[in-house]
Amino acid sequence: MVARDDRRAVDPLIRVNRRQAYEAAQRRRALMVAGVSTVVVLAAAIILVPLAPGWPAVRASFFDASVFAETFPTLLQAFLIDVMIFAWSVPLILGLGLAIALARGARAAALFPLRIFGAIYVDVFRGIPVVLTIYLIGFGIPGLGLPRPWNSPYIWGTVALVLTYSAYVAEVLRSGIESVHASQRNAAICLGLSERDTMRYVILPQAIRRVVPANMNMLVALQKDVALLSFIGPVEILRQAGIYKSLLANFTPYVVAAVIFLLVTVPATRYADHLLNRDRNARS
Amino acid sequence: MPEAKLSLRAVVKSFGDNAVLKGIDLDVAPGEMICLIGASGSGKSTLLRCINQLEPIDDGAVFLEGQDISEPGLDLAPIRRRIGIVFQSYNLFPHMTALDNVLLAPRRVLRGDVAEQRARAEALFDRFGLAPHMLKYPDQLSGGQQQRVAVIRALAMQPEIMLFDEITAALDPELVGEVLQVLRQLRAEGMTMVLATHEMGFAREAADRVCFMDGGVIVEEGPPQEIFSAPKRARTQAFLKAVLR
């Protein structure tokens, strides 16, 4: 596309048709308007915000460059704990989410309790704020007087995250399973495949592929929610930032933490969006 | 006359208040090709789906080689593998290559030697001129090719009888021929077949017997020359007059 435009620019003999000329003009106009409005907004922010009466104080306590440089390495290291907790939670969440999704779809009469359990599970853990689940499980279960290491907040914090997120993932997967057209199932059972094989080889592979983008978004949210475990003990990035805040009487560590989260979550969200768009394009 | 491969006795099927099949009797001899013709909604597709028990019938009975396969509560998987069915919309599994589409059911259901199954599947692709497309995914194939893969997939289970549900209806006109050619080939090999079709030319040329369905009953049946040249019933005449012009 670009190459063709370039060729046209150097070679006037390649004629631009009316539609192309019109669209090129429109594009130029749109670019200019967007550029001007962006510059205006940015300039306003840069000029107006420092005019606020509290700005010098805010700048000193939130955007202190020396505090930023001092706390960044340690906070980055503390973030590794978040990444670790995230890393071992993900397979557990996907496994449990799949199990719950399948339980909810179980049709056999003998499996009815499983279905009920799946439905209640999803309702309960989607209905409670993550923080509450983390508090209740993270403080409640070790409170039973479990011996070390079974009272570790890492374990019970992970459990709380897994319980909550697998409920969401289960719902996403279930919607994926239901989005596979009934004719696929018919084709499979008409070949003599069992219900189980039909699910495993025909329905699930298609369903899982369809919900990858949605689950990517879920994982981005999980990465952020790992920070909530700071409330029950682990000295991960949010807690470490809190320690620095008290130590240095400065909020800049929180800004550092936010920046570190963005470094990870922005690329991940963009990637998820890219997958979603690709999916949409492939289907239309 | 040898024992019928497939017999339907007073088959009745409704969806809610909508009676779709109102007492169908039909005998299919081994190696016979039967074409069901009739307007959309006359019950042709439902009849096929009732034969392989994809739709449970309300009353009457379906016999496959003398065994009542419509008995409620019967384990249907072993029966369905003896009856191949191909649908209008192909229904290939989009996440598998053509070859894997064909091999899935033999591998999971028939078990046995993997290499031998693969060889047999490849022979089928060869026989229907699709060997070059074996490793492609369904969305890389034309409609006609996809439909032929669907036929091969059904044949790979070595069914005793094949059902075809308007398998050319979704195809571009220029692709219909290659699929009908597959049916001719199967007929020549002695496969027992029941097909619902709008291809009157094909029904006339290839069928052993044509059944005209209307309003959930078989109104008239007989050899194609008879049905097409000298239909006895007024409803048959009206239908043929409408479609053959």
> Distances from the Cα of B63 to the Cαs of A58, B31, B162, in angstroms?
85, 16, 15
**pLDDT tens string B187-204:** 999 999 999 999 999 999
Place of tokens 């090719």: B145
pLDDT at B107 over 80: yes
**A176 interaction partners in chain B (CB closer than 8 Å):** none
Contact flag B77-A189 (C-beta cutoff 8 Å):
yes
Distant-in-sequence, close-in-space partners of B26: CB < 8 Å, separation ≥ 6: B6, B7, B8, B34, B211, B218
What is the 8-class DSSP label of residue B131?
Answer: G
3-state SS, residue B169: coil
Rounded CA-CA distance A213/A210 in Å is 7
Interface-testing mutation among A190, A197, A200, A206, with chain B (most B C-beta atoms within 10 A): A190
pLDDT-derived band at A10, boundaries 50, 70, 90: low
Question: What pTM does this model have?
Answer: 0.82
pLDDT band for position A42 (cuts 50, 70, 90): very high
Q: What is the pLDDT of residue B1?
A: 44
Per-residue pLDDT at A2: 47
Residue among B121, B89, B82 nearest B104 (CA):
B121
Report the range of poorest mean pLDDT among A233-237, B60-64, B224-228: A233-237
The string over B136-166, giving b where at least 16 C-beta atoms fall within 10 Å of a residue's C-beta and e elsewhere, is bbbeebebbbbbbbbbbbbbbbebbbbbbbb
The nearest alpha carbon in chain A to B154 belongs to A191
Give the pLDDT band (50/70/90) at residue B68.
very high
CA–CA min distance A279, chain B (Å)? 14
Residue of B nearest to A206 (CA): B95
Percent of chain A with pLDDT over 90: 66
pLDDT digits over B201-221, tens only? 999 999 999 999 999 999 999
> Alpha-carbon distance A110 to B219, whole Å?
45
Put simply, the answer to whether B80 touches A190 (Cβ < 8 Å) is yes
Of B45, B92, B93, B166, which to mutate for an interface test with A (greatest number of A Cβ within 10 Å)? B93
| pLDDT of A9 higher than 90 | no
- Average pLDDT value for chain B: 92
Q: What is the mean pLDDT of residues A258-279?
A: 88
Q: Is the Cβ pair A184, B91 closer than 8 Å?
A: yes
Tell me, what amino acid is at A80? L
CA dihedral B144, B145, B146, B149 (to 10 degrees): 120
- Owner of token pair 């459990």: A159
Q: What value of ipTM does the predicted structure carry? A: 0.89
pLDDT tier, B126 (very low <50, low <70, confident <90, very high otherwise): very high
For residue A1, the model assigns a pLDDT of 44
Confidence of residue A109 (pLDDT cuts 50, 70, 90): confident
Mean pLDDT for B22-27 is 94
Scored b (16 or more CB within 10 A) or e, A197-212 reads bbbebbbbbbbbebbe
Residue A240 reports pLDDT greater than 70: yes
Over residues B215-243, the pLDDT tens digits come to 999 999 999 999 999 999 999 999 999 98
Q: Which helix (H) or strand (E) holds B65?
A: none
Residues of B in contact with A186 (CB under 8 A): 54, 87, 91
Query: Percent of chain B having pLDDT more than 90?
Result: 80
Mean pLDDT of chain A: 89
Q: What is the mean pLDDT of residues B88-110?
A: 94
Confidence label for A5 from pLDDT (cuts 50, 70 and 90): low
Q: Which residues contact A44 (CB under 8 A, 6 or more apart)?
A: none
How many other CB atoms are found less than 10 A from the CB of residue B66? 9
Which residues of A lie closer than 8 Å to B, measured between beta carbons?
183-184, 186-194, 197, 201-202, 205-206, 209
Using the Cβ of B81 and the Cβ atoms of chain A, whether some distance falls under 8 Å is answered with yes
pLDDT of A7: 53
**pLDDT at position B37:** 94
pLDDT of A233: 84
Distance from CA of B137 to the nearest CA of A (A): 14
Other beta carbons within 10 angstroms of residue A218's beta carbon come to 21
